[in-house]
Amino acid sequence: MKTIQILQPIVALLMTTLVLAGCGPTPIPVDTAATVKAAVETTLTALSTATGTLSATPSPNSTPWPTPTSSPTTMPSPTYTLYPTPTPRAATSTSTPTPLATPTGTPVPTLTVEEQLEQLAQSLHKPWKDKEWELVIRLIEQILAINPDYDDMTEKLCAAHVNYGVQHVEQGNLEEAKEEFIRALDVKPDGGEAKAELKKLGVGPLDTGTFVKDSRRNGQGQLTVRNLYSLDTVFVLTTLDNAPVTAVYVRSNDSSPVQGIPDGTYYLFYILGEYWDSGLARFTRNSEYYRDEDTLTFVTTSTKFTTWEVTLNPPPDEETVPSLPVNADQFPNLR
Q: List the one residue out of 263, 271, 132 whose CA is nearest residue 212.
A: 271
pLDDT digits (tens, 9 = 90+) for 170-185: 999 999 999 999 999 9
Which of 114-118, 154-158, 203-207 comes out lowest in average pLDDT?
Answer: 114-118
Position 18 scores a pLDDT of 52
How far, in Å, CA of 123 to CA of 128, rounded? 9
- What does the pLDDT average to over 284-305? 95
Q: List the one residue out of 140, 145, 279, 141 whose CA is nearest residue 199.
A: 279
Q: Is residue 298 scored above 50 in pLDDT?
A: yes
pLDDT digits (tens, 9 = 90+) for 223-246: 999 999 999 999 999 999 999 999
Position 321 scores a pLDDT of 73
Position 14 scores a pLDDT of 57
Q: Is residue 83 scored above 80 in pLDDT?
A: no
Q: Which residues contact 156 (CB under 8 A, 6 or more apart)?
A: 124, 140
Which of 33-37, 72-76, 253-257 comes out lowest in average pLDDT?
Answer: 72-76
- What does the pLDDT average to over 304-332? 91
Identify any residues that bridge with 264 across adjacent strands, giving them in sequence order. 298
**Phi-psi category of 322—alpha, beta or left, where left has phi over 0 and alpha has psi -120 to 50?**
beta
> Are 295 and 266 spatial neighbours (Cβ–Cβ below 8 Å)?
yes
- What does the pLDDT average to over 311-319? 88
Position 82 scores a pLDDT of 46
| Radius of gyration in angstroms for the set of CA atoms belonging to the chain, rounded to a whole number | 65
- What does the pLDDT average to over 104-122? 83
- Report the predicted TM-score, pTM, of the whole model to 2 decimal places: 0.63
Position 151 scores a pLDDT of 87
Q: Which residues contact 263 (CB under 8 A, 6 or more apart)?
A: 219, 220, 221, 298, 299, 300, 306
